[in-house]
């Protein structure tokens, strides 16, 4: 057998493969530049360009959030020569042990890729550092921006920035370790729009750590795209005043433009200066705020859920009128044997019942809504049928469900229906006598302050609302968000709202009304006070209102915890804000001083719980 021919075939095959490899290596190393770009981290320096985050403006264009430049000190271990660690640590103002630990961690991560040694160095401090960096090959500065808050207000609405955690990096390929992300408020909700998109530059550096130019004339660079600006409905002047009035008080203020659903003012108190959660001091300050017993980080406007108290009576009245279980001229005596009440004349109309905030009246109203002889064989099934209809109507007011607004972590409250009480008491084991506390906004009924403000907007608009929202436009100030243009119509005939509005007008403007402290000269204010029961201390004060009655431009809810009657603190605070917003002046300096000077947190600490609770109104 002749094997000589096979030998030559094998030789040719080996030579062919060798030639292929040589050509391929030549192509990769000499001809195809993309392989050079992929090695830029090793031979050249790769710099990430972080885009400027979008600004946030108030309704008049004033800046609420802007940017300030900072620098990260970066290190490429492969380029680092022997250096004076003590001197550089002192220059950067980092403890020596910590500085050495970060360098060791960077070397473990990669000797080719840059790692952050110190983050968010203010521009002024970094300028003093940069003049010495030529002594430290492998170290360089990378610019980025931090948030700054010129008005020092609206911390809960705006949110803050924090470094992404490992889980977020794993979930979203956009983020890398060391990136920042919005947490809470608008910063979190509009994170994709605000952050923009990062760019990359490949540059050449000399032995002194100086940038000598771009790599390959920048053909592999990508441009950073700036984040989009947000244009809110917030009135900055009103926001500031609201926070001043709520100083040393627990509670919240939410004010809306009822015509558009735009949030004019959203205060959660106690609050904090948003500048405290910026830069290298963020972690320290966050820990201090988190441990504070008055809970300044808790957003009461969005996340607190309270019994609405007597403000709930206006919704009960409207549903009862529309259901036909009462008329506008239905009267009930103020029978305190049914439920406690303050002293006032008997209400002979629905307007008077709202004006006097009569508890026994609305006890009877709710009784007629729930027990209507829809099932004559069982009072339990009859109550379930009546309550189911009531629950459906309540949901049309946006109650009992999370509002679809542009802030994270919004709470939706609770409207208890038959399913809720069946779980609690068992099926066919409850009736009106079990759940009557819901008649005056107590018991299992819960609402958030933003829902209270939206109720005021519904009564201002006589039966419709636009979902409350903070941001009116993204990117272009004239381009309104389309999803916040739709009207939601509540389940009640519009003509009944005239009667409810008249009752709310009387609350503020007629003798015997519980909201007289909200009265304004030449402006007809419609409102409703409430006192929400607090089993752990003094009751909470509530006031909802809108003005002017003839052409409402503002609707508001004020909630002051542990302060007693709604008319004492919540109503005057609301009136001062309305007056400023509608007239650009405040004409009652004595009321202003009393609200500013009041320290209700201290009063709460000294409150001795009484056996007999105050009457709710």
Q: CATH number of the domain that 497 lies in?
A: 3.40.710.10
Nearest Cα to Cα of residue 74 among 41, 96, 39:
41
- How far apart, in whole angstroms, are the C-alpha atoms of residue 457 and residue 501? 11
Contact 157, 253 (CB under 8 A): no
Quote the tokens at residue 488. 């939601």
In 3D, which of 454, 472, 458, 486 has the Cα closest to residue 406? Answer: 472
Contacting residues for 511 by C-beta, under 8 A, at least 6 apart: none
* Residue 163 tokens, joined: 């470094």
As for how many domains the chain has, the answer is 2
Does residue 141 form part of some domain?
yes
Cα–Cα distance, 50 to 124 (Å, whole number): 19
Smallest Cα–Cα separation from 261: which of 49, 457, 478? 457
The secondary structure element, H or E, covering residue 166 is helix 166-171
Location of structure tokens 């100030």: 477
Q: For residue 603, what pLDDT is reported?
A: 64
Kindly state whether residues 421 and 514 are assigned to the same domain.
yes
| Distance of alpha carbon 29 from alpha carbon 34, whole angstroms | 10
**In this predicted structure, what is the pLDDT of residue 25?**
64
Residue 539 lies in a domain: yes
Residues 283 and 263 in one domain: yes
Q: Is 543 helix (H, G, I), strand (E, B) or coil?
A: strand
- C-alpha 20/C-alpha 179 separation (Å) is 44
**Would you state the pLDDT for residue 205?**
67
Q: Is residue 21 part of a domain?
A: no
Give the phi and the psi of residue 110 in degrees, each rounded to 5.
-170, 140
- Whether 56 is covered by a domain: the verdict is yes
Alpha-carbon dihedral angle through residues 343, 345, 347, 353, given to the nearest 10 degrees: -50
* Residue 462 near residue 318 (C-beta atoms within 8 A): no
Structure tokens at 518: 């909200």
Q: Are residues 225 and 269 in the same domain?
A: no
35 domain residue, yes or no = no
DSSP class of 584: S
Peptide bond just before 548 cis, omega within 30 deg:
yes
Whether 529 is covered by a domain: the verdict is: yes
Residue 139 three-state SS: strand
pLDDT of residue 217: 65
Give DSSP secondary structure letters for 209-272. S-EEEEGGGGTT-B--BPPPPEEE---HHHHHHHHHHTTT--EEEEEE-TTT-BEEEEEEES--
Same domain as 545, residue 399: yes
- H/E element, 396: helix 379-396
- What local confidence, expressed as pLDDT, does residue 535 receive? 67
Whether residue 187 is contained in a domain is answered as: yes
For residues 365 and 494, state if they share a domain: yes
Tokens of 156: 């809960």
Q: Which candidate, 217, 198, 179, 227, places its Cα nearest to that of 48?
A: 198
Listed as ranges, residues in the chain with pLDDT below 50 are 35, 37-42, 607-617
CATH number at residue 224: 3.90.1310.10
Q: Does residue 330 belong to any structural domain of this protein?
A: yes
442 plus 421 within the same structural domain: yes
113/249 same-domain check: no
Are residues 427 and 526 both part of a single domain?
yes
Asked if residue 264 and residue 179 are part of one domain, the reply reads no
Domain housing 169: 51-78+89-199+214-232
Residues 342 and 365 in one domain: yes
Q: 240 and 339: one domain?
A: yes
283 and 219 in a common domain = no
Give the DSSP letter string of 255-310: EE-TTT-BEEEEEEES---GGGGSGGGHHHHHHHHHH-TT-TTS-HHHH--B--GG
d(Cα 405, Cα 192) in Å, to the nearest integer? 17
Q: What is the pLDDT, as a whole number, of residue 449?
A: 95
What pLDDT is recorded for position 374?
A: 83
Res 149: pLDDT: 93
Q: Distance (Å, rounded) from C-alpha 102 to C-alpha 17?
A: 47
């Amino acid at each position: 057998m002749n094997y000589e021919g096979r030998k030559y075939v094998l030789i040719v095959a080996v030579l062919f493969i060798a030639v292929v490899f040589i050509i391929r290596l030549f192509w990769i190393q000499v001809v195809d530049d993309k392989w050079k770009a992929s090695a830029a981290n090793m031979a050249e320096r790769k710099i990430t360009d972080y885009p400027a985050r979008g600004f946030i403006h108030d309704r008049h264009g004033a800046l609420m959030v802007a940017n300030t430049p900072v620098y990260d000190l970066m290190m490429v271990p492969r380029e680092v020569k022997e250096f004076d660690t003590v001197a550089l640590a002192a220059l950067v103002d980092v403890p020596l042990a910590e500085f050495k630990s970060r360098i060791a961690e960077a070397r473990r991560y990669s000797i080719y890729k840059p790692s952050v040694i110190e983050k968010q160095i203010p521009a002024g401090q970094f300028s003093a550092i940069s003049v010495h960096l030529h002594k430290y090959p492998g170290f360089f500065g990378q610019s980025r921006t931090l948030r700054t808050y010129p008005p020092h207000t609206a911390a809960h609405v705006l949110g803050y920035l924090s470094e992404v955690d490992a889980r977020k990096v794993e979930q979203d390929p956009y983020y890398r370790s060391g990136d920042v992300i919005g947490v809470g408020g608008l910063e979190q909700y509009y994170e994709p729009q605000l952050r923009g998109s990062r760019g990359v530059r490949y540059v050449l550096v000399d032995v002194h750590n100086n940038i000598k130019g771009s790599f390959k004339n920048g053909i592999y660079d990508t441009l950073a795209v700036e984040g989009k600006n947000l244009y809110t409905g917030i009135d900055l002047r009103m926001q500031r005043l609201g926070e001043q009035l709520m100083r040393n008080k627990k509670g919240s203020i939410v004010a809306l433009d009822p015509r558009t659903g735009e949030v004019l003012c959203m205060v959660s108190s106690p609050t904090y200066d948003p500048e405290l959660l910026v830069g290298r001091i963020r972690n320290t300050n966050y820990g201090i705020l988190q441990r504070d017993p008055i809970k300044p980080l808790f957003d009461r406007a969005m996340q607190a859920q309270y019994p609405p108290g007597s403000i709930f009576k206006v919704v009960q009245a409207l549903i009862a009128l529309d259901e036909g279980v009462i008329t506008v001229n239905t009267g009930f005596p103020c029978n305190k044997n049914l439920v406690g009440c303050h002293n006032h004349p008997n209400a002979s109309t629905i307007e008077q019942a709202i004006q006097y905030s009569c508890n026994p009246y609305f006890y009877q109203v709710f009784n007629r809504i729930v027990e209507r002889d829809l099932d004559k064989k069982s009072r339990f099934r009859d109550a379930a049928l009546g309550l189911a209809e009531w629950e459906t109507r309540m949901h049309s007011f946006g109650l009992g469900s999370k509002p679809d607004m542009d802030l994270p972590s919004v709470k939706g409250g609770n409207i208890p229906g038959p399913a809720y009480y069946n779980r609690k008491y068992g099926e066919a084991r409850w009736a009106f006598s079990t759940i009557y506390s819901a008649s005056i906004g107590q018991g299992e009924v819960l609402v958030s302050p933003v829902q209270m403000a939206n109720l005021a907007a519904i009564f201002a608009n006589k039966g419709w609302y636009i979902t409350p929202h903070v941001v009116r436009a993204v990117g272009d100030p004239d381009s309104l968000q389309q999803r916040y243009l739709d009207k939601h119509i509540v389940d009640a005939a519009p003509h009944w709202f005239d009667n409810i509005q008249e009752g709310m007008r009387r609350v503020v403007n007629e003798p015997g009304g519980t909201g007289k402290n909200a009265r304004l000269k030449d402006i007809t204010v419609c409102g409703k006070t409430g006192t929400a029961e607090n089993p752990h201390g003094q009751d909470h004060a509530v006031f909802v209102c809108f003005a002017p009655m003839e052409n409402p431009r503002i609707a508001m809810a004020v909630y002051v915890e542990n302060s007693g009657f709604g008319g004492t603190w919540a109503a005057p605070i609301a009136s001062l804000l309305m007056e400023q917003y509608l007239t650009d002046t405040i004409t009652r300096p004595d009321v202003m001083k009393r609200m500013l000077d009041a320290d209700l947190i201290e009063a709460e600490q000294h409150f001795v719980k009484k056996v007999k609770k105050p009457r709710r109104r």
